[in-house]
Amino acid sequence: MVKLEPYRPLFIVVTFALLGAGFYLTYRRPRPAPATGGVAGAACACPAPRTNRAGRVMLWVATVVVASLLVFPYLAPALFG
C-alpha cells in the first residue's frame, strides 16, 4: 500500500466530490413537472417524486465510514502506540 500513498490526496478529493454529488442529488428540490397541453404542473397526472429513505440512510452511513477511515491513520499511533 505504500506505492499508493502519493495518490492519497487525490483519492480523498475524489471521495469528497462523489459524496458531495451524492448529497446534492439526494437533497436537491425536485423540479416541477412541465406544463403540457395547457395543464398546469400541479394538476398533471404525474406522481410526486418520493424520497428514498434507504438511499439517504446509506449515504449517511457511507459518509461516516469514509470520515472514520480518513481519521484512522491519525488516531492509530495514539490507539496502538
Report the predicted TM-score, pTM, of the whole model to 2 decimal places. Answer: 0.71
Residue 18's pLDDT is 97
User: Which are the contacts of 42, defined by CB distance < 8 A and separation ≥ 6?
Assistant: 32
33 compared with 8, residue with greater pLDDT:
8
Residue 57: pLDDT over 90: yes
Mean pLDDT of 15-23: 97
**What letter represents residue 59's amino acid?**
L
Grid cell at residue 78: 495514539
Nearest Cα residue to 25 out of 48, 46, 51: 51
CA angle 66, 19, 1 (to 5 degrees): 40
How far apart are the C-alpha atoms of 73 and 40, rounded to whole Å?
A: 55
Residue 49: pLDDT over 70: no
